[in-house]
Structure 1
Amino acid sequence: MGASYNSSALKSKWTKTQWLLKSDSLRGYVPNTATFSRSSLENMLSNYATVYFKPTGGSGGFHIVRVKKLASGYQTQLKTTKIRHATLDALYSYLVKRTKERSYLLQKGINLAKTNGNPFDIRVMVQKTNAGVWKTTGMFSKIGKPGVVATNYNQGGKVGFVKTTLAGAGFSEGTIKQKEDELIKLGESVGRLFETHLKGARELGLDVALDSSGRAWILEVNTKPQFYPLKHMGDGSMYRKILSYAKQYGRYK
């Protein structure tokens, strides 16, 4: 980012989640999310078999712990390391130690659709043009390694084309077209909403999960999204398109 970079950013996932929840048209895309406490942990695990524990201000998929309810006790997984906890208290004390007094969120686990056996989510890049219009300028899938908690590129995941990924997940051509149209509109709606709260925002990256039935869920919205992994994808045209919009607000990579 050069000195001329000019797009407002906000780290707090909780604040951004609350903006989405206040929107009638977008609320249904948000998985149940709560700030981390003993009571919210108990409540989430009484409702869901899998819950994600993630830093309110983190990025890149680091420090995300998957918590699973077992027949007896609980299991946490950080990257590929799994630990069993006999009681809710033992689980809670393990997670508290991990917070290092930083703020964390709990989010309902989505049973991610899989493409050729690998979990994936979709990054939707949205940018505001100089004419003041929010436009979805690119979409790509982030395909996780089996057995790893996050799909992020820096967690060993790889990027792919949305059409190919959805075809690998068994979606028909018609459904793929519908999903792409839905995600384009979703990105632009989120752009317009965020601009009302975050003056000067020019770019957003939505991380959208599809569950096994194809329903879309917004996992999070990044206000300073990375798109460098696209450089080497196909002929690089998506990267160049996103970059051409990014240059309008002083971003060159």
Structure 2
Amino acid sequence: MGSVTKNKWLKYLFLKRYPPLAPYLPETRKMSPHSFWTLLGKYRHVIVKPVWGSRGRGVIQVSDLGNDNYAIHYERMETVKQGRENTYRYIKRIIRSAAYMVQQRITRPTINNRPFDMRVIVQRKKHSSRWVVTGKVIKVAGKGYVVSNNTRSHGQLLRFKPGIQHSSIGHLPIAALESQIDKVSLRSAKRLNALFPGHRIYGLDIATDPYGRVSIIEANLYPAMSHFLKLKDGVTYRRILSYKRSKYIHYRSKHIHYRSKYIHYR
């Protein structure tokens, strides 16, 4: 079992149970045959991902093709299985005994016919309660991959505005879209502060659909800064570091009470 700070299910529940953020979180359940088939029947496309995973590892996309046929996309491999029993057995061979969750898939917009989402860095300075968006980067999935993690899929990293302008949602008002993304990201950081007191940085994985509707994919407490180094965005990188330079307050998992006033963790 990994650190509580990396538990995607815990963070999802905590955000989902906060009414101002609930509309921005795709429906997600713990993986079981019932929850899997319920969400797949409701949305036709789902993402199956590990509760403790990182960097896009172990993520599976499943699509209902009709006529009892199901497409399974894992890493760069795509296969079609016929029948529920064959489909679920194949997925279980991948996930084995690991804790997984199943999530409504967000139909992401594309750049050069490849889906993308974005990483948003939100920080606050020591002794300050003011959260600030200090960086944004667009992550384009590599060829043949569902995940956008740059290390895993060998995709492309782009700055926010040029990336949006060259995407399938380039016709949308960029300023309004960025404002909405910032608002949701800041609200997420403020909410998570109640669960992880003392923490001063979050990396939000944010996606939009083809109409620009914003969704929170997940929240990371220890986001990598390599995106901005690879992008050669020195200004953003230095801004992020300036917030991190003062003595960092490490969160310790013993401060979490699983049955707290905020959340019942099961």
Determine if the alignment matches structure 1 residue 39 to structure 2 residue 43: no
Distance 1:194 1:141 in 2: 23
Change over 3 Å in CA distance of 1:229–1:236 after alignment to 2: same
Change over 3 Å in CA distance of 1:106–1:195 after alignment to 2: same
**Match of residue 75, structure 1, among 71, 75, 94:** 71
Structure 2 counterparts to residues 1-253 of structure 1, below 5 A? 10-72=5-67, 73-130=69-126, 131-155=128-152, 156-171=154-169, 175-250=173-248
Change over 3 Å in CA distance of 1:64–1:249 after alignment to 2: farther
Change over 3 Å in CA distance of 1:162–1:52 after alignment to 2: same
Counterpart residue type for residue 124 of structure 2:
K
Note the residue ranges of structure 1 that are not aligned, 5 or more in a row.
1-7
Cα shift readout 1:192-218 (whole Å, capped 9, x = no counterpart): 100111122211111011111111111
Counterpart residue type for residue 38 of structure 2:
N
User: Please, what TM-score do these two structures have when normalized by structure 1?
Assistant: 0.91
**Deviates most, 229-238 or 150-159:** 229-238
RMSD value over aligned CA atoms? 1.8
Overall identity of the aligned pairs, in %: 28
Change over 3 Å in CA distance of 1:96–1:166 after alignment to 2: same
Following superposition, the deviation at residue 249 of structure 1 comes to 4.1
Q: Which runs of 4+ in 1 moved over 6 A?
A: none
Note the residue ranges of structure 2 that are not aligned, 5 or more in a row.
250-266
Q: How many residues align?
A: 244
Counterpart residue type for residue 135 of structure 1:
V
Following superposition, the deviation at residue 231 of structure 1 comes to 1.1
Counterpart residue type for residue 240 of structure 1:
R
The answer on whether the counterparts of 1:9 and 1:223 sit within 8 Å (CA) in structure 2 is: no
User: Please, what TM-score do these two structures have when normalized by structure 2?
Assistant: 0.86
Distance 2:86 2:114 in 1: 31
Following superposition, the deviation at residue 100 of structure 1 comes to 2.5
Distance 2:197 2:204 in 1: 18
The answer on whether the counterparts of 1:228 and 1:239 sit within 8 Å (CA) in structure 2 is: no
Distance 1:205 1:244 in 2: 16
The answer on whether the counterparts of 2:121 and 2:133 sit within 8 Å (CA) in structure 1 is: yes
